[in-house]
Structure 1
Amino acid sequence: MLDVTSIADAELVVLLKEGHRAAFSEIYARYQGLLYIYACKIVKDEDEAEDIVQDIFIYLWSKHSQIQFNSSLSAYLYSAVRYKFFDLLDRKKVRVDYAESLGKFLDTGVAITDEYIREKELANLIEKEIARLPAKMREVFELSRKAHLSHREIAQKLNLSEKTVKNQVNNSLKELRFKLGLFSILLFLFK
């Protein structure tokens, strides 16, 4: 078995790239403690520092044949700690942004949903009350409010006088205001 404890870092890297577990174990033994101390200084949290160092060594072993060491092993490992720290900051920022966004939604989203539901209920109630109007009054009202016809156009279409159309629209509005006014009061009381 190869004694790797006295081998230089550059040779350890060559052995690591070839898949020698002993080389990986020696790199871990040499740098784990130093990287942990360095990570603690940067992160200011021992658990997160430990996670960063473990992630680096997991990556180092899982990608050992693919990693390109453009500088020394120690420079690579210390740079990896810094990059992991920046990744951690990015993830925390995303969490904070998400939490803020969720908070804003909870503050306004519930009210919007409640208003939307109330609006739909009111629209349904209005439609029901319109359907309860006498047939001719309902027809005149729908032509006025839904088809957006003028009193003159409605009068011509239904062979009525403009005054009759005007009275029918006004009577429908009075009736709807009365019925929907009671609903509004009840809605306010049970809100």
Structure 2
Amino acid sequence: MDTTDDFDIKDLISELQANSKKAYTQLYNKYSALLYSFVFKLTKSDTLSQDIVQEAFIKIWINRKELSIDISIKSYLFHLVPNLQ
């Protein structure tokens, strides 16, 4: 991830913390396919993978106020997966 991307993500997280649905959609569009690919390799199930990705992003929305702008959102998402299976 380059520095420009880091700033973009920090801005997205800040906006997400301020209840921006647009920021949430951008975050989803940026990471959902990557997360789905990762989960599908683990589950070998399209339906289960979709459900897990959906749950991960629901958790992001629910916990948006507690997210730190210094976290790696990608790592955060990938660490959610084992807890959702």
Deviation sequence 1:87-119 (CA, Å, 0-9, x none): x3xxxxxxxxxxxxxxxxxxxxxxxxxxxxxxx
Which protein has greater RCO, CA pairs closer than 8 Å, 6+ apart? Answer: 2
Q: In the TM superposition, what are the counterparts of 1:29-108 in structure 2 within 5 Å?
A: 29-68=29-68, 71-84=71-84, 88=85
| Separation (CA, whole Å) in 2 of partners of 1:50 and 1:38 | 11
Deviation sequence 1:162-189 (CA, Å, 0-9, x none): xxxxxxxxxxxxxxxxxxxxxxxxxxxx
Q: Cα offset for 1:83?
A: 2.7
Q: Cα offset for 1:69?
A: 6.1
Q: Which amino acid is 1:48 matched to?
A: L
Which segment drifts farther, 56-65 or 44-53?
A: 56-65
Partner of 1:12: 12
1:65 counterpart SS class: helix
TM-score (structure 2 length as normaliser):
0.80
Q: Cα offset for 1:71?
A: 2.6
Could you tell me whether the CA contact under 8 Å between 1:35 and 1:53 is conserved in 2? yes
Q: Which amino acid is 1:36 matched to?
A: Y
Q: Count residues in correspondence.
A: 79
Give the percent of matched residue pairs that are identical in Structure 1 and Structure 2.
27
| Separation (CA, whole Å) in 2 of partners of 1:52 and 1:69 | 24
**Structure 1 segments of 4+ aligned residues over 2 angstroms from their partners:** 66-71
Q: Which amino acid is 1:46 matched to?
A: D
Runs of 5+ consecutive residues of structure 2 not aligned to the other structure? 1-6
Larger-gyration structure (1/2): 1
| Separation (CA, whole Å) in 1 of partners of 2:12 and 2:81 | 20
Superposition CA RMSD, Å:
1.8
TM-score (structure 1 length as normaliser):
0.38
Q: Cα offset for 1:40?
A: 0.1
| Separation (CA, whole Å) in 2 of partners of 1:83 and 1:10 | 25
| Separation (CA, whole Å) in 2 of partners of 1:62 and 1:83 | 15
1:19 counterpart SS class: coil
Runs of 5+ consecutive residues of structure 1 not aligned to the other structure? 1-6, 89-191
1:12 counterpart SS class: helix
